[in-house]
Amino acid sequence: MALDDPHVIDRLQTKLLIDGQWVDGVAGTTIAVENPYDGSKIADVAEATAADVDLAVAAAQRAFPAWRALAGHERGRLLLKLADAIEADAANLARLESLDTGHPIRDCLSLDVPRTALCFRYFGGMADKIEGSVIPVDAGFLNYVEREPIGVVGAIVPWNFPLMFTSWKMGPALAAGNTVVIKPSEITPLSTLRIGELMLEVGIPAGVVNIVTGYGHTVGQRIAEHPQVGKVAFTGSTATGRKIVEASAGNLKKVQLELGGKGPNIIFADANIPAAIGGSAFAIFHNQGQACIAGSRLIVHESVVDQVLEQFVALTKSIKLGDPLDPETEMGPLTSRLHQQRVLDYVAVAKAQGAQVLAGGEAPEGAAFAKGCFVEPTIVRAKPGDRVATEEVFGPFVTVLTFKTDEEALAIANETDYGLGAGLWTQDITRAHRFAKQIHAGMVWVNCYKRVHPASPFGGVGMSGYGREMGFEAMREYTQAKSVWINVDAKIPPFYRR
Ligand code: NDP
């Protein structure tokens, strides 16, 4: 697909979207957004503060009664129109996302943008299918349960998949009849702003979606603590997730957390090795490893580890790093300088604990990489218990561990407090089911990795958070149950006798 408009940035709204208007922040300050490939400034976006969050929440509250009252199919129609608009704008959205995050443009075009459209389309179709239930209770009573929207939903999304995560939160929230105040990461706000433009274009009413670009400790914090926000949906680090839970306590708002992971990706001796190697490279290196579900622990049976590593190292060394806007580029820079350093620091941690670096481990050399936040795709052979075997690195950094028995593989897989995604490569269907049951994770992929679909629940257990995005599960998360009792013919026993 051709890139439509190289000047898409020049036309992009960079203000806050509050009550259907693009406005400056109350403080009048801006945040510079940088291109992680060359360090150049892409745009200055308005900096929201707590006062802007208050205005955005008030607008969302005003918009809520009418949005909620709209027939489900009408809300759905607008989300379906939005999905169409995203597809029509795919080239621009992909370009924005690539410039802002460093994702290779080919991934933005083939994954991020289509998945975003699909998500809005799925939840557009869901909007008129939110059913309650009738509960069999005592004779003479009718008890039915309705699913009602919560009210104003606060959505806080991180910098690793800003476009997709915007749809994961807004799709179900809006379909269910909630209104939204969303904070993209200040590092990567551009694609969310473009979605805001498209939402206004397709006719989503003023105030239904409000976008506040600002910092986590101010804007994110205010959303989490705001007394009129009924739910906060957050994707990000476990440490920030904890802060959000604390901040939310004031009005006991509903909290949904999609946090970190340390995905175990197990290659058994009977695996289809070429498939396992290709799938495992995707599991860790897609999006430069900046994914909560990344398969960041490659756990390999010792009888095949030499064969696996020989091929896996060769494949890793052949990954083409470069300008994210080059359609040939397979891996771009990390999304920020701070994060690049964080990942490189983990290489030092690994070496200090005696781990062996089998590939990468450095920022690549050469003029093409001089200004970018690059880290070479890195393979480290470590031992269970090492920091790089338990802590989330969140970069193109995979830790290789080995096992002898299935029991040992399971113990290693379940060694961390995280429990998000896990991969199994085996031809033995019995073993696959057994592990799928026993592994501490919210999602398990067998002979594949990182499959996601808007119909399939996504989320974790343990320190990976709680609540589920996507599918019918998401509709439960973005609604609340109301139980109604009707006395149709009940002989109520006289509890109070006079
Ligand atoms: P954070 O969790 O700090 O950031 C995620 C989002 O939360 C951002 O929008 C951020 O805003 C916001 N935020 C930060 N502080 C608060 C707060 N007090 N209240 C409400 N919102 C807040 O992640 P980092 O960017 O610092 O990345 C650190 C690590 O987190 C990574 O190395 C990775 O391990 C993990 N991570 C996991 C993600 C996932 O997909 N599960 C996504 C991103 C990070 P701001 O950008 O302004 O700080």
The predicted pLDDT at position 2 comes to 38
The two counts, helices (H) then strands (E), for the chain are 17, 20
Q: If you average pLDDT over residues 471-476, what whole number do you get?
A: 96
Closest residue to atom 35 of ligand 1, CA basis: 237
| Ranges of each domain in the chain | 16-258+468-483, 264-446
Output the CA 485–ligand 1 centroid distance in Å: 43
Nearest CA to ligand 1 atom 32: 394
Distance 179 CA to ligand 1 centre (A): 23
**Residue ranges lining ligand 1, Cβ < 6 Å:** 156, 158, 160, 183, 185-187, 215-217, 220-221, 224, 235-237, 240, 243-244, 258-260, 292, 342, 392, 394
CA separation for the pair 498, 491 (Å, rounded): 17
Query: What pLDDT sits at residue 491?
Result: 86
Task: Quote the pLDDT of residue 170.
Answer: 98
How many angstroms separate the CA atoms of 357 and 400, rounded? 10
**Averaged pLDDT for residues 174-196:** 98
Would you give the DSSP letter of residue 111? I
Determine which residue's CA is closest to atom 42 belonging to ligand 1.
236
45-89 pLDDT, tens per residue?
Answer: 999 999 999 999 999 999 999 999 999 999 999 999 999 999 999
Pocket test for ligand 1, best of 187, 237, 338 (most atoms within 8 A of CB): 237
Question: Ligand 1: which residue has its CA nearest to atom 6?
Answer: 158
User: Probe ligand 1: pick from 160, 240, 344, max atoms within 8 Å of CB?
Assistant: 240
Q: Which fold has domain 264-446?
A: Aldehyde Dehydrogenase; Chain A, domain 2 (3.40.309)
258 is catalytic: yes
Measured in Å, residue 474 CA sits from the centre of ligand 1 at 22
| pLDDT score of 250 | 96
Please, what is the angle between helix 72-88 and helix 190-202, to 10°? 120
pLDDT confidence of residue 3: 46
- pLDDT (average), residues 306-321: 98
**pLDDT of residue 210 exceeding 80:** yes
pLDDT band at residue 496, thresholds of 50, 70 and 90?
confident
Residue 381 dihedral angles phi and psi, to the nearest 5° = -95, 120
Give the residue among 67, 26, 247 at the shortest CA–CA distance from 170: 67
**Set 34, 97, 258, 376: catalytic member:** 258
**pLDDT over 90 for what percent of the chain?**
96
pLDDT score at 4: 55
Question: Mean of the pLDDT values across residues 350-375?
Answer: 95
Amino acid at 239: A
Residue 261, pLDDT score: 97
pLDDT band at 6 (very low <50, low <70, confident <90, very high): low
What number does CATH give the domain 16-258+468-483?
3.40.605.10
* DSSP structure string for 441-474: -SEEEESS-----TTS-B--SGGGEES-BSHHHH
Atom of ligand 1 nearest to the CA of 464: 41
DSSP 193: H
Percent of the chain with pLDDT over 70: 99
- pTM for the full model? 0.96
Phi and psi torsions of 255, nearest 5°: -125, 135
pLDDT value for 9: 78
User: How close is the Cα of 288 to the center of ligand 1, in Å?
Assistant: 17
| Protein residue whose Cα sits closest to atom 16 of ligand 1 | 216
Residue 292 designated active-site? yes
The residue contributing the CA closest to ligand 1 atom 4 is 236
CA of 237 to the centre of ligand 1 (A): 5
> Which residue is associated with the tokens 């969310």?
192
Give the pLDDT of residue 8: 75
Q: Which amino acid is at 83?
A: A
pLDDT given at position 498: 72
Compute, in angstroms, the gap from residue 92 CA to the centroid of ligand 1: 26
**Sign of the four-CA dihedral 308, 313, 318, 323:** positive
What average pLDDT does the segment 279-305 reach? Answer: 98
CA-nearest residue, atom 18 of ligand 1? 217
Spot the catalytic one: 108, 119, 292, 373: 292
- Asked if 24 contacts 48 with a C-beta cutoff of 8 angstroms, the reply is no
Per-residue pLDDT, averaged over 462-484, amounts to: 97
- Note the pLDDT of residue 494: 73
The overall average pLDDT reported for the chain is 96
Distance 238 CA to ligand 1 centre (A): 8
- pLDDT in the model for residue 1: 33
